[in-house]
Structure 1
Amino acid sequence: MISRTLTIVVVAAGANVTAVAQTPAPDSARVISLGEVIVSASRTPELRAAVPQQIEVLSARTIRLLNPATTADALQQSGWVYVQKSQLGGGSPVLRGFEANKVLLVVDGVRLNNAIFRGGHLQNVLGIDANVLGRIEVLSGAGAVPYGSDALGGVISVYTKPPLLADSGSTTPRVHTSNLLRYASAAHEKTLHTDVSLGWRRVASLTSVTVTDFDDLRKGNRDYRSYPGFGEKPFYVRRFGLRDSVLVNPDPNVQRDSGYGQMDVLQKLLFRPVAHQQHLLNLQYSTTTDVPRYDRLQALRNGLPRFAEWNYGPQRRLMASYQYQYTRPKRLFDALRLTPAVQRLDESRLVRDFRRDVRQENREQVRVLSANLDLNKSLGRHELRYGAEVTHNRVRSTGTGVNVRTGVQQDIATRYPNGATYATTGLYAAHRWQLTPALTLSDGLRLSTVRLRGDFDPRFFNTTATRIRQSSASLDGNLGLVAQLPAGFRASGLVATAFRNPNVDDASKTFEQNNGTLIIPNAGLKPERLRTAEVELSKTVENRLQVAITGFYTQLRNALVVQPFAAPDGGSTITFNGQTYTTVASTNTGRARIYGFSARALAEFGAGFSAQGSISYTKGRDLTRAVPLDHIPPLYGRGAVSYRRRSLTAEASVLFNGRKWVGEFSPSGEDNLDQATPVGSLGWYTLNLRTEYRLTPRWAVQAAVENILDQSYRQFASGISAPGRNVVLALRFDR
């Protein structure tokens, strides 16, 4: 039975739930994937074969071969996740037509989504170091039962490497180190990474440091035939003395003012006093230099640049979590995990109009306190998983106008109400019943509550709504069935509900959009509600072939969409920071629908050769307004042929996207039609080659050529062109 099998897996891993969750099993080239243990579906380890929901796993070995510069690049290069970029220091994952604050990011069991995760496009996934990843699990579809609010499109659950204890009979410490030196030509990326694990019988430590520097990104040289020069950067702005000047870019393929730098630090301390108890301290810190908002720096007004400066200030993420695990069976549970955490996120926007002296500096600081309790219990053919979650977000938002000529400062409108709070609670229970050896039933319920509080500064908001007060509750559930059919076939089905409560960003943000409109607060927002169904059919020929196709249909009520909204005085325009704007706001539309399919295939040919492929298609529409829904990517996918033999690993792959015509873009502005060609977003493909060769058991070299044909293209909804031909060279040392 599945529950007993899983118990054996956990015990065999040393009664260590974290070890199961964070240490990927040896990555065999054979096509055996349904027997692996996953965590993202119910927050506790379970066999993938019993899960009715679509889950893809990006293993440590696959990530190593992809050798991505960022975690966003790892997701995109997998072919399973669509990723939007507004700047080089960007990367906004899209799952089943949902993006940003409608996709939940989880790192080592702690949610990253916070009170100011916005609904447009996010770059927060970049704060997770791609060079210390142990595993990524991508759960597509509603994840409300285990995770609560925000998991509408799915959950991207990231697990970093664990500290490694010494063997029980060892008298010497266990030492493991992994080191990387990498260069990539498209942005002259230079990366230095080192991590060291020191392990004794009961105590282990992992220390990791990564430093990366990106120069300005070069796009491809082979333009679209119908739109030569699309994506070129003909100018850039520099300040000489007291005046901004427009300079000619000597190489328009180089996207000037896109480069940035980043540093990531991780420290883990593991203490296992006895086999069934474990304490883990997890400290993570990530910071960047200023990150230029490239799409804004291309904007023109009256034939001149709109902005002289538009930077995200240094984005810092600090997380400290403690995880206690107990795995000796008791009356109420077989395994228990408690994870309290504290996070602090600092971000800012530094904006100065062309030939204006005042730089508008909006700074946000979010402190997040959270705690998760997860338990599981096996009772014969039944397995119960249950737990609780609480979070509390507090937002500090300030606005300062700085005269770059005189240094004089003055208060300006804040992006959010200063001191706003956002708090959630949740109780969940999920049940799995092995009806027969071939049938597994899954069900679950979660009760969630959310509370939002904020007070507007009357100096900057001329409105009778001086504060925002929201409270909501939601009861969500799922029901799924998995059938192991004859001849290697497997069928599964799932129906589920989910919700997403408006956060501080949705309800109280003031922000200028690319299209010249101003988003203003809307205190009357309601939670988004979702109902979804999915079915999957797969076929497995052991050690040779696995194919699967998944279809889904989603109904969304009270969907949040940016659309025209009356200004505080009842008109349609407002003067803000000296400019006149048409006012818009996040509002609840009546109904929307999203549907689509994805297909995956893995094949093992023998003699070291294998192949894999994936394709995804999504369609979405706002039914109330009869217009396309935003954030819906075009057809996309990946195909690859791999070779692994002794010391050599090689892979040839193709990444591709279909086109999206102008009529398929949402009128909300979130799809960035102004950054596309006159007919919309054009299709593209890239050819790529990656290799790794082990010189010795400890030394390895990697080489890759991405976008071999040097295609010039820009992904749907993105504001920066993708890299041109990119030569990647890396040297690795592992011990």
Structure 2
Amino acid sequence: MKHTILFSSSFLFISFAATAQLADTTRIVGLNEVVVSANRIQGERKADLPQQVDVLSARQISLLNPATTADALLNSGWVFVQKSQLGGGSPVLRGFEANKVLLVVDGVRLNNAIYRAGHLQNILTVDANALDRMEILSGAGAVMYGSDALGGVISLYTKQPRLADSTSTGVQAHTSNLLRYATAAREKTAHTDFTLGWRRWATFTSVTATDFDDLRKGRNGFDDYPGFGEVKEYVERQNGKDVVVPNQHVNRQKFTGYSQLDVVQKVLFQPRAGQRHLLNLQLSTTTDIPRFDRLQTYRNGALRYAEWEYGPQKRLMASYQLELTRPHVLYDVLRLTPAVQDVEESRLVRDFGKDVRQENTEKVRVLSANLDLFKELKQHELRYGAEVTRNKVHSIGEGVNVATGAVAPIVTRYPNGSTYATAGVYAAHRWEITDRLILSDGLRFSNVQVEAAFDRKFFDSPYNAIKQNSSSLDGNVGLVAMLPAGLRLSGLVATGFRNPNVDDLSRTFEQTAGTGQAIGTLIIPNPGLKPERVVNYEMELSETIENRLLVSLTGFYTTLRNALVVRPFATPTGQTTTEFNGQTYQTLATVNTGEARIHGISSRAQLGLPAHLRLDGTLTYTQGRDQSADVPLDHISPLYGRGALTYQHRGLLAEGSVLFNGRKTVAQYSPSGEDNLPQATPAGALGWYTLNLRTSYQVTPRWAVQAGLENILDTNYRVFASGISAPGRNLFLSIRFER
């Protein structure tokens, strides 16, 4: 293994050194990139947008060679990502996480009625190998997307079918294939996709299968806290009994592995110019995903759980898209996208020494439809449309005796049959006042309705039912000024909102971290919640020298009213404790706080150098505080960023990079428990950095090989708010074939 590591490192460094005398400069795309997500339907140059947008192309994703979509975001340096288990990945944008960041795939929102406020892994249900690009919009995105886009929007676009060109008389085929192996989790990935194109019909098919073993953490670091992150013991079921077993390999994080299958199938029909019909089917499913941090939770000096897993995470989506591009009096482009999604997830929990496993399964059916139109009128562009969604939640609770197989009903996580419905209309306008001055503005009206009825058979909820009906009017206005000498100045003011969903209003959930109480804590329903609202201010200054330099600095300031936070809570009868599953708990609930503020800066830089080299850098700093309680907000990431030197010439692409995070002291942690302080060191989250090397070589026009070495120093570290240690030294090898 040591020889392999030395060879890979030497190969990459020699690649840089051997070509250092070649005179050329790598291309900088920068602000000339075209983005779609900012306006949903018609692409615009980044330079014309007042909002900060980062684009991760299929080519960049290929070089990063990520195991998951969450890893692609993390390794880009643009997005902070939290993990509680290997099968995790919760993006954070400008201090907002989980249900406060909107995920969209191919124009269809993924956020549903049970997206929680803590940490989510739903982005893993979109296959990185099937992506054409990702667009990350930072800041409030309510005008174009409605509820949930407080911190921003992550739009994921999968690859499209391609029609045969006009000269073709038969079918045109293209295929792309990948085999990948990585050492840190003994990951094995196989991917294939292919397109078949005729004059009017085309198909795209993508299949990816991935298998992960237990993740190995780094060996070096944490000198002041020896043994941090080591797994000393774990629980096994032997002869019908739970047994604590010593871990012979303490850097191996037991019970973290899982497997995943992703399938995308698209069919395109274009009967005539200006009319397109697209059927889009997507399936993602996993095996059980162990929740590592819970499996390493101790109570009274002993491991508490024998089992704690997320059951198979399933997402099935079917959408149809009609696109009309022949000019009409009402539009130049019209796009109609109805969709249906079936989402299933579950939690499987069994205490040590107990025979009954609590199985809570949630099934959500989501119906949605989007209508988006674009019209150009001289110097003016108008975008307008509507969106409706309806979520139906089916919640099941079962106690399964692992010894006898007997099944009995238990309390459900949510009221069974809950509904969550949204409707909205929007209009956005762009005016090119002069060649150097562009005005953008927009308005959206949204309505959200939530209904849930409680069953008191297993848990004596203080409420019979919840009914909410709320509306919001949101807007934005932005200005872009192209200044002399390549300078660009932009400013934006935007509002946003997030309506409480079924999870916020009605969940019952045992919380085991962050309270410091002698007894356990239980989050109980609170039907009195109000929508969260933000006002976001941002300004960006950038300098561009074509194909040589791009430097940008963005400052943002967000005021958050009625922020949803977890706090101690008394029921309407004044009780601060309650009985649940035979135990006494202190009651917590999600409540509205008065006002919070988040501010920060982010910077991006690209510098073209001689000899086919390019230097890239990103840096983001965020601060957030609950002004009413005078405590830090949760989900506020420490300073983070990335620097990379890339060499590209002919068939060789090589990159050396550093990925880093700053420190987060105990005093900077939120008291809510969402930041998982017990999973950090006694001093909080320590700063860290990793050195990484990646290379890709095009052996022939069809065959390419990739190799990389991540975390070269085998650093032992844990990302802020994460419950699992990050991968140690990781060597990956890939073979790609295209035709």
With structure 1 as the length reference, what TM-score do the two structures score?
A: 0.96
What are the within-5 Å matches in structure 2 for residues 159-178 of structure 1? 159-178=157-176
- Choose which of 544, 554, 573 in structure 1 pairs with 2:577: 573
Matched, 1:559 2:563: yes
Q: What residue number does 2:708 align with?
A: 704
Q: What residue number does 2:38 align with?
A: 41
What are the within-5 Å matches in structure 2 for residues 210-289 of structure 1? 210-289=208-287
CA contact (8 A) 1:223 1:230 kept: no
Q: What residue number does 1:3 align with?
A: none
- Choose which of 591, 599, 616 in structure 1 pairs with 2:595: 591
Determine helix, strand or coil for the equivalent of 1:272: strand
In 1, Cα distance between the equivalents of 2:663 and 2:209? 36
With structure 2 as the length reference, what TM-score do the two structures score?
A: 0.95
- Choose which of 419, 434, 437 in structure 2 pairs with 1:436: 434
Determine helix, strand or coil for the equivalent of 1:62: helix
What are the within-5 Å matches in structure 2 for residues 103-118 of structure 1? 103-118=101-116
- Quote the offset at 1:266 in angstroms: 0.6
Per-residue Cα deviation, 1:82-105 (whole angstroms, up to 9, x for no partner): 000000000000000000000000
Q: What residue number does 1:25 align with?
A: none
Determine helix, strand or coil for the equivalent of 1:398: strand
Q: Match of 2:737, as an amino acid?
A: F
CA contact (8 A) 1:692 1:702 kept: yes
Per-residue Cα deviation, 1:644-673 (whole angstroms, up to 9, x for no partner): 111110000000000000000000000000
- Quote the offset at 1:302 in angstroms: 1.6
- Quote the offset at 1:49 in angstroms: 1.6
Q: What residue number does 2:669 align with?
A: 665
Unmatched segments (≥5 aa) in structure 2: 1-24, 514-519
Q: Match of 2:338, as an amino acid?
A: P
- Quote the offset at 1:569 in angstroms: 4.9
Determine helix, strand or coil for the equivalent of 1:681: coil
What are the within-5 Å matches in structure 2 for residues 643-722 of structure 1? 643-722=647-726
Per-residue Cα deviation, 1:604-649 (whole angstroms, up to 9, x for no partner): 1133111100000000000000000000000000000000111110
Matched, 1:390 2:408: no
Determine helix, strand or coil for the equivalent of 1:182: strand
- Identical-residue share of aligned pairs (%): 68
In 1, Cα distance between the equivalents of 2:28 and 2:226? 44
Q: What residue number does 2:193 align with?
A: 195
Q: What residue number does 1:641 align with?
A: 645
Q: What residue number does 1:582 align with?
A: 586
CA contact (8 A) 1:544 1:604 kept: yes
In 2, Cα distance between the equivalents of 1:37 and 1:274? 26
Q: Match of 2:616, as an amino acid?
A: Q
Determine helix, strand or coil for the equivalent of 1:660: coil
- Quote the offset at 1:29 in angstroms: 4.0
In 1, Cα distance between the equivalents of 2:248 and 2:582? 34
CA contact (8 A) 1:218 1:724 kept: yes
Q: What residue number does 1:501 align with?
A: 499
CA contact (8 A) 1:223 1:229 kept: no
- Quote the offset at 1:242 in angstroms: 2.1
What are the within-5 Å matches in structure 2 for residues 359-438 of structure 1? 359-438=357-436
Q: What residue number does 1:450 align with?
A: 448
- Choose which of 704, 716, 725 in structure 1 pairs with 2:729: 725
Range with bigger deviation, 402-411 or 416-425 = 402-411
Matched, 1:545 2:542: no
In 2, Cα distance between the equivalents of 1:112 and 1:514? 28
- Quote the offset at 1:462 in angstroms: 1.6
In 2, Cα distance between the equivalents of 1:567 and 1:268? 50
CA contact (8 A) 2:454 2:461 kept: no
In 2, Cα distance between the equivalents of 1:730 and 1:70? 15
CA contact (8 A) 1:194 1:210 kept: yes
CA contact (8 A) 2:321 2:336 kept: yes
CA contact (8 A) 1:512 1:519 kept: yes
Matched, 1:518 2:522: yes
Q: What residue number does 1:14 align with?
A: none
Cα distance 1:113–1:339, how it changes in 2: closer, same or farther (>3 A)?
same
Per-residue Cα deviation, 1:290-325 (whole angstroms, up to 9, x for no partner): 000001000011221110000000010000000000
- Quote the offset at 1:273 in angstroms: 1.0
Matched, 1:139 2:137: yes
Q: What residue number does 1:536 align with?
A: 540
- Quote the offset at 1:722 in angstroms: 0.1
- Quote the offset at 1:228 in angstroms: 1.2
Q: Match of 2:421, as an amino acid?
A: A
In 1, Cα distance between the equivalents of 2:250 and 2:461? 46
Determine helix, strand or coil for the equivalent of 2:208: strand
Q: Match of 2:32, as an amino acid?
A: G
Cα distance 1:382–1:689, how it changes in 2: closer, same or farther (>3 A)?
same
Determine helix, strand or coil for the equivalent of 2:276: strand
CA contact (8 A) 1:462 1:568 kept: no
CA contact (8 A) 1:591 1:623 kept: yes
CA contact (8 A) 1:173 1:200 kept: yes
Q: What residue number does 1:22 align with?
A: none
- Choose which of 351, 354, 357 in structure 1 pairs with 2:355: 357
In 2, Cα distance between the equivalents of 1:570 and 1:408? 38
- Quote the offset at 1:165 in angstroms: 1.0
Matched, 1:613 2:610: no
CA contact (8 A) 2:26 2:609 kept: no
- Quote the offset at 1:226 in angstroms: 0.6
Matched, 1:57 2:63: no
May I ask how many residue pairs the two structures share in their alignment?
A: 708
In 1, Cα distance between the equivalents of 2:46 and 2:543? 15
What are the within-5 Å matches in structure 2 for residues 46-85 of structure 1? 46-85=44-83
CA contact (8 A) 1:268 1:283 kept: yes
- Quote the offset at 1:567 in angstroms: 4.1
In 2, Cα distance between the equivalents of 1:33 and 1:143? 22
Per-residue Cα deviation, 1:262-292 (whole angstroms, up to 9, x for no partner): 0001100011111200000000000000000
Q: Match of 2:710, as an amino acid?
A: E
- Quote the offset at 1:464 in angstroms: 4.1
- Choose which of 629, 638, 642 in structure 2 pairs with 1:625: 629
- Quote the offset at 1:414 in angstroms: 0.3
Q: What residue number does 1:11 align with?
A: none
- Quote the offset at 1:435 in angstroms: 1.0
- Quote the offset at 1:582 in angstroms: 1.2
In 1, Cα distance between the equivalents of 2:556 and 2:106? 28
Cα distance 1:410–1:573, how it changes in 2: closer, same or farther (>3 A)?
same
What are the within-5 Å matches in structure 2 for residues 178-189 of structure 1? 178-189=176-187
Determine helix, strand or coil for the equivalent of 2:31: coil
CA contact (8 A) 1:390 1:426 kept: yes
- Choose which of 476, 479, 497 in structure 2 pairs with 1:478: 476
Q: Match of 2:709, as an amino acid?
A: V
Alignment RMSD, CA only? 0.9
Per-residue Cα deviation, 1:513-556 (whole angstroms, up to 9, x for no partner): 12232111101100001011000000001110000000000000
CA contact (8 A) 1:497 1:529 kept: yes
- Choose which of 118, 123, 126 in structure 1 pairs with 2:124: 126
In 1, Cα distance between the equivalents of 2:620 and 2:672? 24
- Choose which of 31, 37, 46 in structure 1 pairs with 2:28: 31
CA contact (8 A) 2:359 2:400 kept: yes
In 2, Cα distance between the equivalents of 1:567 and 1:77? 44
CA contact (8 A) 1:567 1:574 kept: no
Per-residue Cα deviation, 1:352-380 (whole angstroms, up to 9, x for no partner): 00000110000000000000000010111
Determine helix, strand or coil for the equivalent of 1:430: strand
